Every structure is written in structure tokens, then in C-alpha cells.
Amino acid sequence: MLDSRPSDYMLNVEGLTVSFDGFKAVDDLSFYVDEEEIRVIIGPNGAGKTTVLDLICGRTRASAGQVWFRDQELTRLKEHEIVRTGVGRKFQNPTIYEDLTVFENLEISYPSGRTVFGALGFKKTRAVIDRIEEIAETIFLADCLHHVSGALSHGQKQWLEIGMLLIQDPALLMLDEPVAGMSPSERIRTAELLQTITRGRSVLVIEHDMAFVENIAHRVTVLHQGRILAEGSMDKIKSDPRVVEVYLGH
Amino acid sequence: MSSPTSRAFATRGEILAFATLAVLLLAVLPASMEIFRLNLFGKYLTYAFVAIGLVLCWGYGGILSLGQGVFFGLGGYCLAMFLKLEASDPEATKIQSTPGIPDFMDWNQLTELPWFWVPFESLGFALVAVVLVPTLFAGLIAFAMFKRRVGGVYFAIITQSIAAILTILIIGQQGLTGGVNGITDLRTLKGWDIRTDEAKLVLYYVNAFLLLGALVFCHWVLGTKFGRILVAMRTREDRVRFSGYDVASFKIFVFCLAAALSAIGGAMFTLQVGFMSPSFVGIVPSIEMVIFAAVGGRLSLLGAVYGTLLVNWAKTTFSETMPELWLLAMGGLFIAVVLFFPNGLAGLWQSFRQPLMHAIRRHAPAGSVVADAAPEGGTR
Ligand SMILES: Nc1ncnc2c1ncn2[C@@H]1O[C@H](COP(=O)(O)OP(=O)(O)OP(=O)(O)O)[C@@H](O)[C@H]1O
Ligand SMILES: [Mg+2]
């Protein structure tokens, strides 16, 4: 077995490839994320950013390559098994349970009672309720705990989805365009939110808003046509002529 | 205050609604009609088991099955097999060429009881089989489909095909199953004659209590986190996966539960009506059962019971006077409900009741208006 996992990285993506009918959306991609690192992936539309997250969280099956998360290889696991190893994923469009209240959304995301009989016997103990209220406070939704979540604003839905991940306490948090569609003031609050919730975990963020990226990124990976164009600090990326040409120049 | 922390098993309104149904089933109906009609309503109520199963599986879980007749039928057949064997003792069948086997087997030149009939000589086995056979069969179908992520319309079509196949199989294997006539001429249960008026009354009550028990059980299920996951699955299956749940196992469970409920209904049908036949297994009865749930309101357990009673009562009334129009009327009813009243009778009742409640609340201290306005909370 080819087990070449460098032990000091939390996430270790090795030669990851996927092709859709011959079109390689992600092509022999390798990158490494440290413990407690905030990594931002940028790149033009269709570069394959979302597909990379899909591959890591098991939504799309890789054609080749491996994803090591600590000591587990993820490409062979099912979605819910990957979640249980400690990987949380936020989708590009807010993906919440619109028929349920904010409280119920968070309750479902609470990481216990995940089997059929576990869910039937699940008790809303004080600890569970406290945790839900604490998360609601963090994501600025404490006042609308019992509102049906379908009625929230777009920005609030984005926060709720972040809260749903947060309550799982994942070691790796993957966020696909968390500030898309938000007002300027919501963006500022979201940046603050990310500062607090990223402590103690690694974060993989896809974002187009460069001001936001500068604000949070430790390192940046630039993706272009399924391959890495450049990688490094924000300053280095901004001065890279190839990056300016394919992405930042627009 | 009804914050979710202190949320009781049922709200006052829910208890009242349940008590109303209980009084209707246990007192009003038996007191207001002669045994022939009551037996007819008892028969309708056996379909209500299927309808409340569909509320869980289709209304909440989003899994539309057009083959619930399969499980209703299998449950009914399991009990019919026991009753038929009891009715076929050598004394009663001594004019046959092979006494001691069911009459239809004798007509089909069978000289020995088929192996899978033998265990049905035991009532205990038959009762366990009533629930277990349909549930395991449902589990098998669900496992094969949901692990492969077959869902939606495809699943509905597959369940419908299974209903068609099973009907053909039963009709084709006349010697083993009684064929198109089904298993008829059932008489006694452990020596107790089930055809008498008194027995019919007792069976009506057994059925009513079982149904009320099933309603309480389903209400409990919907109140747990499992119930909320069903709703979540219906709208955002992907998100449920990425919240760490194995979606397939939840679907398998709820489909099996709906099958088990249908099976109990089927067994009660056999007891009250005195026979079971393939005409309760196939596509048409299966679709009718979906209509019962849709008319009553697919998000309302109690609504499904009323829907079943109402549609069946209408069917009996109209098909006596204008049988050829009934199927058309039924189809029209279904389309009307789907287009204009997606939440059925229960939804209509809610929209009528809500302004009334608001008027009452204006005079009472502010309560849990927000939680009550939730589309799921109110109609359960
Ligand atoms: N399931 C799929 N089947 C076929 N093609 C796909 C599939 N998923 C993604 N693609 C294609 O792969 C490419 C990369 O898509 P992806 O969504 O990863 O881009 P992105 O970088 O996230 O873009 P954006 O910035 O617009 O979100 C696109 O050309 C897309 O059409
Ligand atoms: Mg994308």
C-alpha cells in the first residue's frame, strides 16, 4: 500500500483527480493543510474549487488520488462516515432545513443520536439545549431560535448553516463562499464570526471577495482549470503575474 | 409557556383532537349503526392503518409508495392462511379427495399441504408472520433501493411494479394461494366463530383500539428527533448526510414501519371481512390508499383516518348508485386535492381554525404563537 502520509499535516490531498465524461474538473491536485490553518482557495468560475470540497467530503467520488485526514483515508468512506471523522462542509447556496425552526436545525446537527434508534431515544437534555443556545448566540440568531428557518434572510441562512457545522465541532471546517450574497455589514460580522469559530480547528474557505480573503487567510491556493496555479501568502499571490492574469486582473 | 424544553408529549389541541376521534370510533359509530354498517366501517378503518403509515413514510419522509397494498395483503394473507387451515380440518373436508387441506388446493389436484403452509397451523407463528413477513419484505425492497439511492418517482414506480407482480403471482399460483378468489370461507379463530354479530362487534373494537394505539405510537415517533430528521430528509437529503446521518437506514426504517402498520390493517381486514384476495394487493388498491392519505392530509395522522373514512364512505355510497362514475370521481378528487389542497382536509381545518384561535388568543396572555405557526407542528 502506498501510504506516504506526512504526519505533521492535518489534511493531506495527494494526486486528487476527477473527470466528468473525460473532462478533468480536478487534475492531479496535491496540497497540504496544517493544524489550525485557515486556507483560502480562490480562482475563476469553473476552476474546480467546489469540486475539490465535494471530493474531500465524499459528495463526488475521486477517479484517482487520496485524501488523508489525520490518519484516515477519506475517499473510501461514505459521506456520513466522513462527517463523523470530524469534517464539516458548508455549501455554496445555503443548505438548511427550511421547514424546521432554527432550534430544530441545530438540534438535528447536534452530534449524538445519529442512528435510527439513537434518534428515537434522543433526549433534549439541559446540556443539549445549552449548547444550541450558545451556538445560536455565536451566529447572531439567539432571538430567532423558534422561527421557521425558511423565513430568515439570506445572510442569516448562511450563518445558520455555519452554526449547524459548528455544533458538530469539526476539526476541519470547509466553507464554500460564506459571504456570497451578504450585505457589507453582514460581511463584517461574518469575518468576526470566522475569527472566533476558527480557533482550534483548520478551515478551508472558498471565496471571491478579496478584501474578505486578505482579512482571514493564512495561506492562499489559486486554482485554475483543476490545477494549482500558485500557493502561498496573500502578498505573494497578489504579486504573482500569472494569478493577476487569470484571476485578479478581472 | 411551551418552549421546546418543556414540550409535552402532546399539546392540548392534539389531545382534544385525539379524544374526539376516540369517542367517535368507540362510542358514536357503534351506537349509531347496526352491526352490518359498523362492520363496514371496521373494514374502512383497516385501511386507515395503511394511511397513517403513508403519513410517516410519504408525508413526513417524502417516500411515495404506490405499493402499500402488498404489505396490507401479505399481512392479511398470513392470518387468512391460519384461519383457512383451521376451517379445513379433516372432518369439515371429508368429501374432498384429500381431506384436511384447504378446498382450493383439492380443486387444483394438490394432495399434500405445501411446505410453507405447514407452520401456519400455529396461531403464534401466524401472528408473528403477520407483522414480520411484510416488514422483512419491505426491508428487502428498501435496502436494495435506498442503499443505491433510488428515490422519488423511480421508487414509486418500482413499488407499483412489485404490487403488479405479486398480484399476478398470487393469481397464477391458484393451488397454493387460492388464485383470483383469494382465501375465502374463513370461519373460526381457535374455535371462536368470527362470523357472528357478536364477534364482529368485538373485532370492531379490537381494530379500533389497535388503530388508536398505532396513532399514539406514530405521534410519539414524529415527536422524536427521528421525526424531525424525516422532515429534514424530505427537503434536504444531502444536508442530512452531511450532518452525519446514514440516510438510507432512516428510509429503510420508516418504510418498514409503514409496512408493519399496513400489515396489521390487512390482518384485521381478514378477520372482519372473512376473506383475503389479490384485489387488495394490486395497483388500484395501493393507489386508493395513497388517495385516502392525501385527502385526509398527508401531514396529519388523524386527518388520514378521517380521509380514509370519508373516501370509503363516499365510495360505497356512490358506487351503489353510479358505479361507472366512481373511478372518475376518485381521480378527480385526487387531482383536486393535490392541486388545491396539498395538505388535505387537515390543512383545510387548520386554515379554518387558525383565525378562530387567534381571535381567542387576543384575549389570553401571549403564548407560543410562533411555534404554533410552524407548518409541521400544527397539523401533526
Ligand atoms: N457533477 C458534475 N458533472 C459534470 N461536470 C461538473 C460536475 N460538477 C462540476 N462540474 C464541472 O466542473 C467544473 C468545475 O466546477 P466547480 O463547481 O468546482 O467550479 P468552481 O470553481 O466552484 O466555480 P464557481 O466559482 O463558479 O463556484 C465546471 O466546469 C463544472 O461545470
Ligand atoms: Mg463553486
Cell numbers describing residue A45:
468560475
- What per-residue confidence (pLDDT) applies to B358? 75
Atom of ligand 1 nearest to the CA of A226: 14
With cut-offs at 50, 70 and 90, classify the pLDDT of residue B361.
low
Read off the C-alpha cell for B302: 388523524
Q: Does pLDDT of A5 surpass 70?
A: no
Write the residue in A89, A99, A122 that is nearest to B376 by C-beta: A99
Name beta bridge partners: A232: A220
Confidence of residue A22 (pLDDT cuts 50, 70, 90): confident
| B276-302 CB burial, b ≥16 within 10 A, e <16 | bbbbbbbbebbbbbbbbbbbbbbbbbb
Per-residue pLDDT for B367 more than 70? Answer: no
Condensed to tens digits (0 to 9), the pLDDT of residues B268-311 reads 999 999 999 999 999 999 999 999 999 999 999 999 999 999 99
Q: Which residue of B has its CA nearest to A117?
A: B226
Q: What is the mean pLDDT of residues A193-221?
A: 89
Our answer on whether the CB atom of A46 is closer than 6 Å to any ligand 1 atom is yes
Give percent of chain B with pLDDT exceeding 90.
77
Q: What are phi and psi of A202, to 5 degrees?
A: -95, 150
Say whether B236 and A97 touch across the interface (CB within 8 A).
Answer: yes
Question: What residues contact residue A24 under an 8 Å CB cut-off, 6+ apart?
Answer: A17, A18, A226
Average pLDDT over residues B238-244: 94
* Closest ligand relative to A54 C-alpha: 1
What is the pLDDT, as a whole number, of residue B3? 43
Determine contact, residues B150/B287, Cβ cutoff 8 Å: no
* Interchain pair B238, A100: CB under 8 A: no
User: What's the half-sphere exposure (Cβ side, CA atoms, 13 Å) at B200?
Assistant: 16
Q: pLDDT at residue B365 above 90?
A: no
| pLDDT tens sequence across A171-193 | 999 999 998 888 888 888 888 88
Using pLDDT thresholds of 50, 70 and 90, give the confidence band for residue A209.
confident
Question: Per DSSP, what are the bridge partners of residue B232?
Answer: none
Residues B194-201: contacts with CB under 8 Å, at least 24 apart: B194/B83, B194/B271, B194/B274, B195/B274, B197/B35, B200/B35, B200/B38, B200/B39, B200/B42, B200/B272, B201/B30, B201/B35, B201/B38
Q: Is the pLDDT of residue A89 over 60?
A: yes
Distance from C-alpha of A54 to C-alpha of B45, rounded to nearest angstrom = 48
DSSP letters, A178-203, are: TTTT--HHHHHHHHHHHHHHTTTSEE
pLDDT band at A4 (very low <50, low <70, confident <90, very high): low
Helix boundaries (H) for B108-194: 123-146, 152-172, 174-177
pLDDT tens digits, residue range B116-134? 999 999 999 999 999 999 9
User: What is the nearest CA distance from A77 to chain B, expressed in angstroms?
Assistant: 12
What pLDDT does residue B370 have? 41
CB contacts of B243 in chain A (<8 Å) are: 83, 108-109, 164, 168
SS3 A14: strand
What are the b/e assignments for B44-62, b being 16+ CB within 10 Å? Answer: bbbbbbbbbbbbbbbbbbb
pLDDT at residue B159 greater than cutoff 70: yes
The rounded Å distance from CA A50 to ligand 1 centre is 7
Using pLDDT thresholds of 50, 70 and 90, give the confidence band for residue B371.
very low
What is the tens place of the pLDDT at every residue in B39-80? 999 999 999 999 999 999 999 999 999 999 999 999 999 999
Confidence of residue A3 (pLDDT cuts 50, 70, 90): low
* Ligand 1 atom at minimal distance to the Cα of residue A21: 4
Task: Parse chain B into domains and list their residue ranges.
Answer: 12-372
Closest-CA residue, ligand 1 atom 5, reads A20
Which three cell numbers mark A112? 449524538
Lowest-confidence pick of A197-211, B56-70, B221-235:
A197-211
Torsion of CA B172, B177, B182, B187, to 10 degrees: 170
Cβ proximity of B305 and B342 under 8 Å: no
For chain B, the residues whose C-beta falls within 8 A of a C-beta of chain A are 3-5, 221, 224-226, 228-229, 231-232, 234-236, 238-247, 249-250, 253, 368, 370-371, 373-376
User: Chain A 157-196, CB below 8 Å of chain B: which residues?
Assistant: 164, 168
B362 — pLDDT class (breaks 50, 70, 90): low
Q: What is the pTM of this model?
A: 0.91
- Contact predicate A201/A36, CB 8 Å: yes
Interface test with B, best of A61, A81, A117, A120 (most B CBs within 10 A): A120
Which numbered atom of ligand 1 lies nearest the CA of A25? 12
Confidence of residue B259 (pLDDT cuts 50, 70, 90): very high
